[in-house]
Amino acid sequence: MSALGELRQLKDSKAAKGDGKAAFWFLLPWFLGLFTVTAGPMLASLGLSFTKYNLLQPPSFIGFQNFVRMFSDERLLHSLGVTFTYVLVSVPLQLGLALALAVLLDRGVRGLSFYRSVYYLPSLIGGSVAIAVLWRTVFGVNGLFNQFLAIFGIHGQGWISSPDTAIGTLILLNVWTFGAPMVIFLAGLRQIPVSLYEAASVDGASKGRQFISITLPMLSPIIFFNLVLQLIHSFQSFTQAFVVSGGTGGPADSTLLFSLYLYQRGFRAFDMGYASALAWLLVVIIGAFTALNFWASKYWVFYDD
Amino acid sequence: MNSNKILRRSGIVAAVAAVSALALAGCSGGATPAASTKPTLSGKPTTITMTFWGGDARVQSTQKAIDAFEKKYPNITVKPQFTDWTGYWDQLATATAGGDMPDVVQMDELYLASYGNRGALYDLNNVKIDTSGMAAAARDTGKVNGTQYADPIGVAVYAIVANKDLFDKYGVAMPDDKTWTWDDYAKIADELTQKSGGAIHGTDQIGGFDAGSVKYWARSDGGEVFDAKGKAVLNPKSLAKMWQYELDVQKSGGMLSSSAITESFSAGISGNDIATNKVALGVAYNTQLTALAKSSGQNLVLLQPPAPKNVHPNSYKPSMYWSISAKSKHPAEAAALVDYLLNSEDAAKIILTERGVPANDKTRALIKDALAPTDQAAIAYQESVTPGKAPAVTPNGASTIETILQRYTQQVLAGQQKPLDAAKAFIAELQGEIDAAQ
Amino acid sequence: MTETATLLSVRPELVTQNPVSRRRALQPVRAFVKHVVLILGALIMLYPVLWMVVSSLRPSDKIFGDPTLVLKTFDIKNYVNGWNALTEPYGHYLINSMLVVLGAIIGNLVACSLAAYAFARLNFRGKRWWFGIMLITIMVPIHVIIVPQYILFSQVGWVNTFWPLIVPKLLATDAFFVFLMVQFMRGIPRELDEAARIDGAGHPRIFLQIILPLMVPALGTTTIFTFIWTWNDFFSQLIYLTDPEKYTSSLALRSFVDSQGSTDWGAVFAMSVVSLLPVFLVFLFGQRFLLRGIATTGGK
């Protein structure tokens, strides 16, 4: 049954109220966290989006001005374009690669844990200071990649410093760190009972058929999870763009991901009111995509409970 | 108790928390208390906090200076905080918003007006700091709207860096920096590229990445970037001239490509193309000579940038300042620390030129002989430069001038915009930021 | 799904054996090709990291000129310099990171699994709304939350302590892991719950004795990811830890980089490698938790 269908049933049935007490206790730490540490600041930031706030002086109420300003903000529009490109290209690539490798590694390879660690390693340094230097060394004008291309006589440009291709290097960086969803896929694959594959082989199903009929459906909750969360994370992507572009979103704003623009307005330009408004715009965008995901999930996600 | 009731109540708690957070955000602002008499040292055991940005070299030297200070004032304990340049401003802004600004704050020219005009900094004329050793022109770089919000630690001057070894290697004559023009510069750069057969390029970028370059070109034409009232009065033609010059020299072969320039700049002082000997010429501040020479390993010398006859576009740029928090609970002790760092012989001998060539003439004379040859060359250069009238401090709201500038530079160099259009757009955007901050 | 339980109870060796070894061994050629592809992929993936390690063993001024992996000198000077470069030996910062990470892991494991159980197994009014709210908390960017949150913690006096970094984890604010665990829990057959309930178990017992043991891969994943993300987290640690004695390794690492002056890149790389080592080791050894397959108690 689909996630949505179930939830709908839950809402209607009388038994829905049954576990209220137990739920309260299980959710208590989360409620505590929500109302003290999370909701307070979140609501405050929502409030701040209706103000002009420079961090150093008290906020002053300006109504909807911040939101009106968004419509004529050219850099915002540009940033949205960059962000959408980044998300819609890198997420499918990243997940596809993660799934492919997880399946490959799950099927009995000698040295599995070694390969798994190796493919995961890039995720570990993805957000570090060293990455900026590394990426420049690989994709710079005199970098490794161009030296590699030179072997074939191709004269490469400065990939990381040219406005047309800089975002490509960031997408590559996001895809390069596919280790995290890969590990989650591996854990998910582990949970698929071997007996199902056994039974299918006995019935004469090919490996490919098994993949489509057993692996994908059984893994679909995990695929769904990875999709929802990688989308959310990619929309919020900050550190890599920050480190690689030196906080500027350059060259020429070509790597100005939404979070980076938000950060620049809030912390560099002392324009925290507007930054808060931008943050909630992001919430709306991400929320829309997530809702879309949930709605679509009823067509392809298979839950066993 | 009914779980729903609890949830509803928790919702109220959350709302209250949110409102109080907003209200408390207002508690951080406030003007310096008007002091009729200057605060005095209490003599009681006090702890003050100080914050600064810098790498590990600065961390070590500052700690030594603090130890020496604490020996002199046994009742004062100093707790230093430090982080890198970018993280520093995030931390400072957040801490100030929360009312936790440290007592002594290292400050930069880009942000001075932003913090000063918003009431976050103490008026240093109200505390006891001896600035007699400093030239008035230097001290004034810390004044915004007539209030002394900061005292400069060091000053720097704009310069051309030339790699003498590369000049000699490719048989190009060193220029006479008293009389040369930008056209001469371009010719030499082209010559270097040619004679090296492309092994090196003549020059790295000469402007568009830091505010100092724009200042220099504006002042070469007799104008300024900002006026005393904080308005952006930059003449777009000056800026366009600078960009067009770079495009021309790139075309004639003397300057690196746009990509290379961008990468060079983001690699910082120790990684740019001057430091890695890929070019023989570039721009820098005289105080950066030591770091550049260390990474380069070759003989780097400072030359005066080309200037029109009888015009003095150069100026003293404060490397960094010390400020005191407006809400400091121990302004007298904080002032004692600042005074010590700026004036004491011991501190001077420890810090040397790590924070720039000292603005204090007395300490500068003191440490001259203890310095490395490159630092001495930097000082010699500074003393050979005749600065023009002191420029206005970057006004409130213009703290992002360099990021905005870099964006337009990259667009122009990539051919996405024409220099004059870009210059006009840049000035408009800059003024927009200044207006929005009022 | 009862098929599974039946099958597993009839052939218990299927449960404990590593499924990897059970599968048909691939023919030698296919295995060889596979290995070649995997190794090539690994090299491409790892080249930047390997270069960083190799560079850390070269003198600082030679680093940028050499993109190869050839080690001409084995110079540990960068490690020595980097270790002693700040006011404390670098190990001090590693320990701080460890403390924060430990707190975060415990917090996440306990609080998130509890919350996940509620969302996955319990029925209660407004479940859909609370789940939605939980997801929204992931969507708000940290940069605008941090200032109000900082003010909040400042009022309580927790600034410059590890508490702002740990307590939120104890309160399941990492909705990512709640969601992760929910998805894993939904893969566990409800029949097992039913069986336990028939035996008289209430929710706490079902949670502890049925669900948690079957959740080991998800718990392992949570541990590993919490470790890595907290270890590498920079921004919150920057804002909340002002006393350098409390600096974690990611803060200390940034202190090496001075864009305005000379940066000792050799030391940066050396200490990056040192910072990476614990994370990598945790991942290497933590994989065991991901290796364990379904261990069901089936029919008692």
One digit per residue, the tens of pLDDT, for chain B of length 438 reads 454 555 555 555 555 555 555 555 544 444 444 445 678 888 889 999 999 998 778 888 999 999 999 999 999 999 999 888 888 999 999 999 888 899 999 999 999 999 999 999 999 998 988 888 888 878 888 988 889 999 999 888 999 999 999 999 999 999 998 899 999 999 999 999 999 998 899 999 999 999 999 999 999 999 999 988 889 999 999 999 999 999 999 999 999 988 889 888 888 887 889 988 999 999 999 988 988 888 888 999 999 999 998 899 998 888 899 999 999 999 999 999 999 999 998 999 888 888 888 888 888 888 888 888 988 999 899 889 888 888 888 998 898 899 899 999 999 998 999 999 999 999 999 999 999 887
**Cβ atoms of B106 and B321 closer than 8 Å:** yes
Q: Rounded to the nearest 10 degrees, how much is the dihedral formed by the CA atoms of B128, B132, B138, B143? A: 30
Helix (H, G, I), strand (E, B) or coil at B358: strand
Gap between the Cα atoms of B272 and A246, Å rounded: 14
Q: Are residues C112 and C218 both part of a single domain?
A: yes
Candidate from A44, A54, A253 with C-beta closest to B21: A44
Q: Is B407 on the interface with C (CB under 8 A)?
A: no
Most confident range, picked from B62-71, C147-156, C211-220? B62-71
Q: Is A27 on the interface with B (CB under 8 A)?
A: no
Domain boundary among C75, C108, C125: C75
Phi-psi region of B127 (alpha: psi -120 to 50; beta: other; left: phi over 0): beta
N- to C-terminal Cα separation, chain B: 52
Q: What is the number of domains present in chain C?
A: 2
Tokens of B302: 């400072």
Query: Is residue A170 one of the residues assigned to a domain?
Result: no
Question: What residues make up the domain containing C66?
Answer: 17-75
Tokens of B414: 């990539």
Helix axes A144-151, A129-139, angle to 10 degrees: 20
Q: What backbone torsions phi and psi does residue B53 show, to the nearest 5 degrees?
A: -105, 155
Query: Is residue A162 one of the residues assigned to a domain?
Result: no
Gap between the Cα atoms of A180 and A178, Å rounded: 6
Q: Are strands B300-303 and B158-163 parallel, antiparallel or unpaired?
A: antiparallel
Gap between the Cα atoms of A127 and C237, Å rounded: 14
For residue C270, what is the nearest residue in chain A, using CA coordinates? Answer: A130
Query: Is residue C12 one of the residues assigned to a domain?
Result: no
**Cβ atoms of B433 and B397 closer than 8 Å:** yes
Query: Is residue C210 one of the residues assigned to a domain?
Result: yes
Query: Is residue A38 one of the residues assigned to a domain?
Result: no
Task: Give the chains touching B; criterion: ≥3 Cβ pairs < 8 Å.
Answer: A, C
Do A191 and C48 make contact, defined as CB atoms within 8 angstroms? no
Q: Is B199 on the interface with C (CB under 8 A)?
A: no
Residues 72-91 of A with CB under 8 A from C: none
Chain C residues lying within 8 Å of A304, measured CB to CB:
1, 186-187, 189
Query: Is residue C2 one of the residues assigned to a domain?
Result: no
Chain C residues lying within 8 Å of B294, measured CB to CB:
61, 262
Percent of chain C with pLDDT over 90: 4
Residue with tokens 């960086």: A173
Q: Are residues C66 and C91 both part of a single domain?
A: no
DSSP string covering B77-108, please? Answer: EEEEEEE-HHHHHHHHHHHHHTT---SEEEE-
Q: Please name the amino acid found at residue C208.
A: L
Q: Rounded to the nearest 10 degrees, how much is the dihedral formed by the CA atoms of C118, C121, C126, C132? A: 70
CB neighbour list of residue B35: distance below 8 Å, 6 or more residues apart: B126
Candidate from B6, B18, B416 with C-beta closest to A252: B416
Question: What residues make up the domain containing A254?
Answer: 3-8+65-126+178-297
DSSP string covering B175-244, please? Answer: P-TTT--HHHHHHHHHHHHHHTTTSSEEE---SSSSHHHHHHHHHHTT--SB-TTS-B---HHHHHHHHH
Q: Are residues C89 and C70 both part of a single domain?
A: no
Beta strand segments in A22-145, E: 51-52, 60-61
Residue C16's pLDDT is 43
Query: Is residue A251 one of the residues assigned to a domain?
Result: yes
> pLDDT higher for A125 or C2?
A125
From C4's Cα to the closest Cα of chain B, the distance in A is 39
Gap between the Cα atoms of A252 and C184, Å rounded: 43
* CA–CA distances in Å: residue A88 to residues A83, A208, B59, B216, B239: 8, 27, 44, 44, 38
Residue B23's pLDDT is 55
Other Cβ atoms within 10 Å of A14 Cβ, number: 6
Q: Are residues C58 and C187 both part of a single domain?
A: no
Q: Is C68 on the interface with B (CB under 8 A)?
A: no
Do B29 and A270 make contact, defined as CB atoms within 8 angstroms? no
Q: Are residues C55 and C185 both part of a single domain?
A: no
Task: Give the chains touching A; criterion: ≥3 Cβ pairs < 8 Å.
Answer: B, C
Tokens of B282: 């570039």
CA angle A264, B205, B410 (to 5 degrees): 40
Residue C28's pLDDT is 75
User: Residue C93: which CATH number?
Assistant: 1.10.3720.10
- Beta-carbon contacts below 8 Å between B and C: 128
Complete domains list, chain B, with CATH? 34-154+317-382 (3.40.190.10), 158-314+400-437 (3.40.190.10)
Q: Are strands B104-107 and B46-53 parallel, antiparallel or unpaired?
A: parallel
Q: Are residues C180 and C208 both part of a single domain?
A: yes
Query: Is residue A144 one of the residues assigned to a domain?
Result: no
Gap between the Cα atoms of A48 and A42, Å rounded: 10
Chain A residues lying within 8 Å of B431, measured CB to CB:
none
Most C CBs within 10 Å, among A4, A66, A124, to test the C interface: A124
Query: Is residue A45 one of the residues assigned to a domain?
Result: no
Do A45 and C179 make contact, defined as CB atoms within 8 angstroms? no
Tokens of A209: 């058929």
Q: Are residues C40 and C168 both part of a single domain?
A: no
Q: Is B102 on the interface with C (CB under 8 A)?
A: yes
Task: Give the chains touching C; criterion: ≥3 Cβ pairs < 8 Å.
Answer: A, B
Q: What is the widest separation between alpha-carbon atoms in chain C? A: 71
Q: What is the number of domains present in chain A?
A: 1
CA angle C61, C64, C69 (to 5 degrees): 110
Q: Are residues C35 and C175 both part of a single domain?
A: no
For residue B26, what is the nearest residue in chain A, using CA coordinates? Answer: A58
DSSP string covering A140-187, please? Answer: STTSHHHHHHHHTT-----TTTSTTTHHHHHHHHHHHTTHHHHHHHHH
Query: Is residue C296 one of the residues assigned to a domain?
Result: no
Q: Are residues C247 and C220 both part of a single domain?
A: yes
DSSP 8-state symbol, A266: I
Q: Are residues C179 and C41 both part of a single domain?
A: no
Residues 257-276 of A with CB under 8 A from C: 259, 262-263, 266-267, 272, 275-276
User: Residue A269: which CATH number?
Assistant: 1.10.3720.10
Do C152 and A238 make contact, defined as CB atoms within 8 angstroms? no
Most B CBs within 10 Å, among C62, C149, C242, C271, to test the B interface: C242
DSSP 8-state symbol, A52: E
Query: Is residue C253 one of the residues assigned to a domain?
Result: yes
Q: Are residues C135 and C256 both part of a single domain?
A: yes
Gap between the Cα atoms of B58 and C259, Å rounded: 13
Q: Could you list the pLDDT tens digit for every one of the 305 residues in chain A?
A: 456 655 555 554 444 456 778 888 888 888 888 888 888 888 899 999 999 998 888 999 999 999 999 999 999 999 999 999 999 999 999 999 999 888 888 766 677 777 777 888 888 777 676 777 778 778 888 787 888 888 888 888 888 888 889 999 999 988 888 888 888 888 788 778 888 888 888 888 887 888 888 888 888 888 998 898 889 889 988 888 888 887 888 788 999 999 999 999 998 889 999 999 999 999 999 999 999 998 998 888 887 66
Q: Are residues C165 and C42 both part of a single domain?
A: no
Looking at the predicted structure, is the pLDDT value of residue C25 above 80? Answer: no
From C13's Cα to the closest Cα of chain A, the distance in A is 12
Gap between the Cα atoms of A269 and A139, Å rounded: 30
Looking at the predicted structure, is the pLDDT value of residue C53 above 90? Answer: no
Q: Are strands B143-144 and B147-148 parallel, antiparallel or unpaired?
A: antiparallel
Query: Is residue A265 one of the residues assigned to a domain?
Result: yes
Q: What backbone torsions phi and psi does residue B82 show, to the nearest 5 degrees?
A: -150, 155
Rounded to the nearest 5 percent, the helix, strand and coil shares of chain B are 50, 15, 35
Residues 203-232 of A with CB under 8 A from B: none
Most A CBs within 10 Å, among C143, C153, C229, C260, to test the A interface: C143
Q: Is C278 on the interface with A (CB under 8 A)?
A: no
Chain A residues lying within 8 Å of C144, measured CB to CB:
45, 48, 262, 266, 272, 275-276, 279
Tokens of B232: 């952006």
Query: Is residue C273 one of the residues assigned to a domain?
Result: yes
